[in-house]
Chains A and B, each alone.
Chain A
Amino acid sequence: MSEFTPQANLTRPKPAAAESATAGHPEGWLAMLRSAVVLFLIMTVLTGIIYPLVVTAIAQMVFPWQANGSLINHAGQHVLSDRQAVGSALIGQYFNQPWYFWPRPSATSPMPYNAAASGGSNTGPTNPALVKNVAARIAVLQAADPGNKQPVPVDLVTSSGSGLDPEESIAAAYYQIPRIARLRHIAPAKLKAMVNNYIVGRSLGILGERTVNVLELNLALNRKYPY
């Protein structure tokens, strides 16, 4: 008892009205072209000029520090001009002297932490270069601190997505405490307390991961325990 009759139903319906040239107000092709051009220009001005300028005005008035790149000086204070700044609180910097906390490896070119050309290594998970690079980075860490037998935290030996990661895991900072404590003649417990002071928690206690801001930590290190 099927209601389904393919011959009857699978032909294209042609209601008379559906094929009429225009609906409602007739609109010539030239008028259509004019509407398209004018609307496109208006939308370009509205979304490409007015909108970004309004956002810029709000940003510069309400959040000038963030809007201009979150720059900080030696004391870790917020500054607006790059003449007084040593970096951005949100952009990592390269450190390779053993008396500093080292950041995560960076794959930017031509030098690490090139903040004018972000990017990751894009090394695949089974690329032999990945294991080779990780092993080489571990060798460098161990050469700088031969007595350190702790397991190496993965983020300290793998390059970040942006190449500008300002942060590393708490484990990565803790791993480096013995080396820095020895070179700067500080008790490791004091240094650990300092690291704990620079932990960036999860947003609202839930979102993201707990990390340490390496540039801010190194600036604090220079202020409190100069090398």
Chain B
Amino acid sequence: MTPNAWLQMALLIGTALLLVKPVGIYMARVYENQPVPGLGKVLGPVERGIYRVCGVSAQHQQNWKRYTVALLLFNLLGFMAVYFIQKWQGWLPLNPTHMSAVAPSALALNTAASFITNTNWQNYAGETTMSYCTQMTALTVQNFLSAATGLTVLVAFVRGLARKTTTELGSFWVDLTRSVLYILLPFSLALAAILIWQGVPQTLGKYPTVHVVQPFHQAGAPTTAASTTIATQTIAIGPVASQEAIKELGTNGGGFFNANSAHPFENPTGLTNFLEELAILLLPLAFCYTFGRMVGDARQGWAVLAAMVVLLLALMIPCVIAEQAGNPLLAHYCDQKPSVLQAGGNMVGKEARFGPVNSGIFAAVATGTSTGAVNSMLDSFTPLGGLCPLWLMQLSEVAPGGVGSGLYGMLMFVLITVFIAGLMIGRTPEYLGKKIEAFEMKMASIAILIPPSLVLVGTAMACVTAAGLAGIANPGAHGFSEILYAMTSQANNNGSAFAGLNGDSTFYNVIGALLMLAARFWTIIPTMAIAGSLAGKKIIPAGSGTLSTYSPLFVFILLAIIVVVIALTFFPALALGPIVEQLQMMTGRW
């Protein structure tokens, strides 16, 4: 790696870590229902007004079942709204580009499931499918609400750990409202303003059409063979910045345009690229500090955060190295060596302003979190470079994972680790003074095993059906990687894609929708059940026999358990896809 690559990586991770404590403290204030400095004055009346209209009180408390039912009900409404807005966009307002209804119902279903689950898998191209109305009132809304849903589950879970002998986990309505009002909205507004300054469009006007500098002949389709002269360029724009900001902050990842953050209007400069990466990492990392503060021991948060950052860097660095090394098959055709005059490396599907370094960093950040945004086409990565984002998703999105979902996913692994460590030293497993018993272990195992099972079953189904194989774009082992990547992405609620795979078929739309819904809600329900069970328990004071859950040793065991669970599950599949392709590429034979 070049010195600049190290510098950019260090700057990103360093800045994110510097922000963990201040943002973490801020979020703790939000969820401990304390007045929020500054914003509280302006938004306090709005918040109280919302509760009055909704018929809830700020002191309202729910047990885990009611909290979960409220969450499911709220998400069901979101699902229906996204589905029907797509179906009705033809006659809804705010449609200057005259988009008609999203015709295939399976596609509308997939998109609805995708956006409510914080996945943002996209089997459509934004600029040719969705009206401004749909982008704003369906997709942008769910970018906020799916992220807020993740935060509510996490904050309820943390309360379950922090509180004792109670059924009260807080109020879903209050937690959701405060997440949106005090965290997601103000941060998005600030980020959107900077993005616009750097060149991201924000307008409700129609697509401009310009007369190009050099008109050119375009050969017609093979059947007509008539060539046409292209003298104009129609440039898709829209309310991009407002969606772009929450797309990153909420670890959503669904692009306004088909090319996502590779599109110069979503991500025009090195600075916007840095800020987008930072926004993706900000809330998942900072909540570790919020967690530590809410359970009364900041070290617990830092320990979990350390595990997350180690995993992220362990896959980010090889990704950048692989992409910067370039493709040996092109070695005697062109110059791939990085120099002061060029970024070099594997430039297929990458933007000149990002090159392999920023593309690799972004790919790792977006898949380590459940963001799924891309600033380069991952399908064209080298096999090893593509393996890194694939693996980051297969880690069940805990490095550091999505907003809310990453930390509660990681805490499931922590419970498993505490249990296994307890067995090894012959002590009752405890975490933060709470006894971890059979019920918690069953639920944690379900939450951890569901995504990998969905990935493998989905991949197997696609590989043995004609409908599944029909979507493949690239021949050989890479075609298998495309399927594995698609199933991994949807069954971990990421949304990143090897975009060559044609997912807009009834088969992929329906199976994808089912995977996304199952992965999201079948992990939320056991997580909430554990929260309810833990909240009812006493807190046992730590004694000399208590296992420390913030020591480097514990972090190491936690990492080992994550890697072992995931490696054993996925190694055979990875061997058939990216690993064999890397060997083929290096030897030049297949």
Contacts and interface: CB of A to CB of B under 8 A. Distances in A.
Contact of B380 (A9, A120, A164): A120
Given A39-B54, A209-B343, A211-B353, A47 B438 contact: no
Interface in B434-491: 435, 437-439, 441, 473-478, 481
B324 to A, nearest CB: 11
A153 interface: yes
A198 interface: no
B77 A37 contact: yes
Contacts of A69: 201, 203, 208, 235, 237, 265
B213 A10 contact: no
Nearest to B590: A126
A33 interface: yes
B545 to A, nearest CB: 7
A31 interface: yes
Interface in B70-103: 70, 73-74, 77-78, 81
Contacts of A54: 189
B537 A118 contact: no
Interface stretch (B134-142, B280-288, B303-311): B134-142
Interface stretch (B290-298, B327-335, B551-559): B327-335
B127 A116 contact: yes
Interface in A87-137: 87-97, 100, 104, 110-111, 113-128, 130-131, 134-135
Interface string A5-41: 0000111110101101111110100011111111110
B200 interface: yes
Nearest to B356: A209
A17 B537 CA distance: 10
Nearest to B588: A126
Contacts of A197: none
Contacts of A13: 435, 437, 439, 533, 536-537
B269 interface: yes
Interface residues of A, number: 129
Q: Is the interface of B mostly helix, strand, loop or mixed?
A: mixed
B499 A110 contact: no
A148 interface: no
Contacts of B235: 69, 82, 88, 91, 115-116
B584 A126 contact: yes
B341 A174 contact: yes
B213 A87 contact: yes
A116 B128 contact: yes
Contacts of B165: 15, 17
A176 interface: no
A77 to B, nearest CB: 14
Contacts of A100: 213-214
Contacts of A211: 352-353
Given A4-B428, A124-B380, A155-B342, A66 B200 contact: yes
A67 interface: yes
A169 B352 contact: yes
B518 interface: no
A88 B393 CA distance: 36
Interface stretch (B256-264, B405-413, B507-515): B256-264
Contacts of B204: 56
A47 B218 contact: no
Contacts of A168: 352
Contacts of A48: 136-138, 140-141
B264 A166 contact: yes
B346 interface: yes
Contacts of B62: 22-24, 27
Interface in B178-225: 180, 184-185, 188-189, 192-193, 196-205, 207-214, 216, 218, 221
A55 interface: yes
A117 B129 CA distance: 10
Given A25-B57, A48-B138, A200-B353, A125 B478 contact: yes
Contacts of A70: 199, 201
A171 to B, nearest CB: 4
Interface stretch (B3-11, B21-29, B567-575): B3-11
Contact of B213 (A93, A122, A170, A202): A93
Nearest to B11: A206
A170 B379 contact: no
B13 interface: no
Interface residues of B, number: 161
Contacts of A31: 55
A4 B537 CA distance: 18
A111 B230 contact: yes
A113 to B, nearest CB: 7
A169 B342 contact: yes
B253 interface: no
Contacts of B313: none
Contacts of A138: 333-334
Interface stretch (B30-38, B106-114, B270-278, B396-404): B270-278
B60 interface: yes
Given A10-B437, A63-B197, A154-B347, A124 B334 contact: no
A159 B350 CA distance: 8
B273 A208 contact: yes
A203 B236 CA distance: 25
A121 B380 contact: yes
A14 B330 CA distance: 65
A68 B265 CA distance: 10
A196 B245 CA distance: 33
Q: Which of A52, A74, A116 has the most CB of B within 10 A?
A: A52
Given A47-B144, A66-B201, A68-B205, A87 B474 contact: no
Interface string A188-227: 0000000000001011101111110001001100100000
Contact of B422 (A4, A115, A155): A4
A222 B221 CA distance: 33
B335 A151 contact: yes
A117 B270 CA distance: 23
A177 interface: no
A36 B77 contact: yes
A3 B427 contact: yes
Interface of A: 2-4, 9-13, 15, 17-18, 20-25, 27, 31-40, 42-44, 46-49, 51-52, 54-56, 58-60, 62-63, 66-71, 74, 81-82, 85-97, 100, 104, 110-111, 113-128, 130-131, 134-135, 138, 151-172, 174, 200, 202-204, 206-211, 215, 218-219, 222
Top 8 nearest A-B pairs (CB, nearest first) are: A208-B270, A161-B262, A122-B500, A82-B208, A207-B270, A18-B536, A24-B61, A124-B474
Given A24-B62, A153-B334, 14 more contacts: A15-B536, A42-B54, A43-B145, A52-B239, A56-B239, A69-B237, A91-B233, A93-B214, A97-B214, A120-B376, A124-B379, A164-B264, A171-B342, A204-B271
29 contacts: A4-B428, A10-B438, A17-B536, A21-B63, A23-B62, A25-B57, A38-B54, A48-B140, A74-B213, A85-B208, A88-B208, A89-B199, A104-B352, A120-B259, A123-B379, A125-B329, A125-B346, A127-B474, A130-B329, A138-B334, A153-B335, A155-B347, A155-B352, A160-B350, A161-B359, A171-B339, A174-B341, A206-B270, A222-B213
